Structures are given as C-alpha cells and as structure tokens.
Amino acid sequence: MHVGKRGAFIVFEGCDRSGKTTQSRHLSSVLTSKGVDIKQINFPDRTTTIGGMINAYLTNTQDLKDEVIHLLFSANRWECVDSIKKDLLAGTTVICDRYSYSGAAYSAAKGVDFDWCCAPDRGLLEPDAVFYLKANLDELTSRGSYGEERYEKLDFQRKVGEQFDRLYAQRSSYWHLLDASKSLQELQDQIAAVADGVLQQAAEQPLSTI
C-alpha cells in the first residue's frame, strides 16, 4: 500500500467560455514543470457510453427530459470516482475541468429544484479547491465559437451564473473566486499563488465526500 502523501483534487468551474480549459491546462503544465505528478480530467467525459449520450444531447441531436440528462451527468461522474480516488491516494494531483457544481448550476438554472439537483452527487469526492471563473457575460459571448452548443445562450448563462454564485456563497472556504475577464497572465498568476498551499494542505488531510 502507498504510504506517501495524497494528491490534491482541484476543480475549475464557471459559465461557458469562462476560460476553465485554458486555466486548468496551464496549471497542469506549471505544476508538472515543478515535478508534481498531475492527471488532467474533464466532465462531461464524452468518451464513455453515458458520455456519448450526453454529447448527443449537448449537440442537439437528442432531446432528453431535464431530470434524465441531469442524472446522466451525475452518473458520468460516478463512473470515474474510483479512478480519481486511486490516483489521489497514489499521490497524483487531479485537475478537473467542471464537476458536480456544473451539474447543479445548469439543471437548477432550468428550474429543477436545487436540492434535488445536488442529491445524486452526494458521496462523490469533495474537491480540495474550486477555482470559480466568474464571468462578465457580455465579454464571454465574444469569445471563440460561442453559440454552437445547447446551453450557449446569454439569458441561460446568466441564470447559470446566479446558481454558481449561490454555490460559491455556501462553500467559500475552499472556493477561490476569480474575475474571468482578467488577462490570461493575471489569472495564471492568481491561480499559481494559491495552488502550492492547496497541495500542501491536501497532503495533510484525508479525502472527504460531498
């Protein structure tokens, strides 16, 4: 059995086009260059059977009831929980692009009951840190290819943002609020300044669940 320190579970959240993929990749490469063992993942994971159903829904080739797609997004995370846990316990830091909070925010923004939305993810691993890229929506719509997928509409993104704010208010101890309209460099610096402390703290703490 591995007796070393565990890795940190770091999540990026925010509205569409807020820069999650850009920043999570950058943090992965910064930490890798410092010798940290990193695995980068994202949700939805469109490579699994359930992920294929989610992809068909997001690209508007398949319609599903709000509750059904919600449960598929959650199931897609449950598919990965054992592998995330194994990596963390082996000392690998897992950097994750979207997680349970996207699940709750997008479905609650449609009007599905907030507590109902949170329930299927109970028991999944709790992140050590969430970087919340809070969007100035008017700016985000001008970013590349906005508008191609199901949820990429301004009114809807505004509602999603309100739900993310609600989640942030409940969990501000490990959520780090970032202004997504800042430059890439400013955001990278802000994230890097927090990341070392997150890794150190995670190493001293047991894994917990949502």
Q: If DSSP states are collapsed to H, E and C, what string results for 11-76?
A: EEEECCCCCHHHHHHHHHHHHHHCCCCEEEEECCCCCCHHHHHHHHHHCCCCCCCHHHHHHHHHHH
Q: Is 57 in the site for ligand T5A (CB under 6 A)?
A: no
Task: Specify the long-range contacts of residues 149-156, CB closer than 8 Å, at least 24 apart.
Answer: 149/16, 149/58, 149/59, 149/60, 150/57, 150/58, 150/59, 150/60, 151/16, 151/58, 151/106, 152/16, 152/17, 156/109
Using CB distances below 5 to 8 A depending on partner kind, what does residue 151 bind out of ligand T5A, Na ion, none? ligand T5A
Binding to ligand T5A, residues 32-51 (CB under 6 A): 43-44
Q: State how far the Cα of 104 lies from the Cα of 81, in Å rounded to an integer.
A: 18
Using CB distances below 5 to 8 A depending on partner kind, what does residue 86 bind out of ligand T5A, Na ion, none? none
Whichever of 43 and 175 has its CB closer to Na ion, that residue is 43
Question: If residue 179 lies in a helix (H) or strand (E), which one and from where to where?
Answer: strand 175-179
22: phi then psi, degrees, rounded to nearest 5: -60, -50
Query: In the complex, what is the shortest distance from the CB of residue 94 to ligand T5A, in angstroms, rounded to a whole number?
Result: 15
Q: State how far the Cα of 81 lies from the Cα of 71, in Å rounded to an integer.
A: 15
Annotate each residue in 122-151 with x if it binds ligand T5A (CB under 6 A) or - if it does not, as one string: ---------------------xx----x-x
From 20, 107, 26, 17, select the one nearest 71 (Cα to Cα).
107
Binding to ligand T5A, residues 77-96 (CB under 6 A): none
Annotate each residue in 1-30 with x if it binds ligand T5A (CB under 6 A) or - if it does not, as one string: -------------x-xxxxxxx--------
Whichever of 31 and 180 has its CB closer to ligand T5A, that residue is 180
Q: Is 111 in the site for ligand T5A (CB under 6 A)?
A: no
Using CB distances below 5 to 8 A depending on partner kind, what does residue 175 bind out of ligand T5A, Na ion, none? none
Query: In the complex, what is the shortest distance from the CB of residue 118 to Na ion, in angstroms, rounded to a whole number?
Result: 22
Binding site residues, Na ion, CB under 5 A: 21
Q: Which residues bind ligand T5A (CB under 6 A)?
A: 14, 16-22, 43-44, 58, 73, 97-98, 102-103, 106, 143-144, 149, 151, 182-184, 187
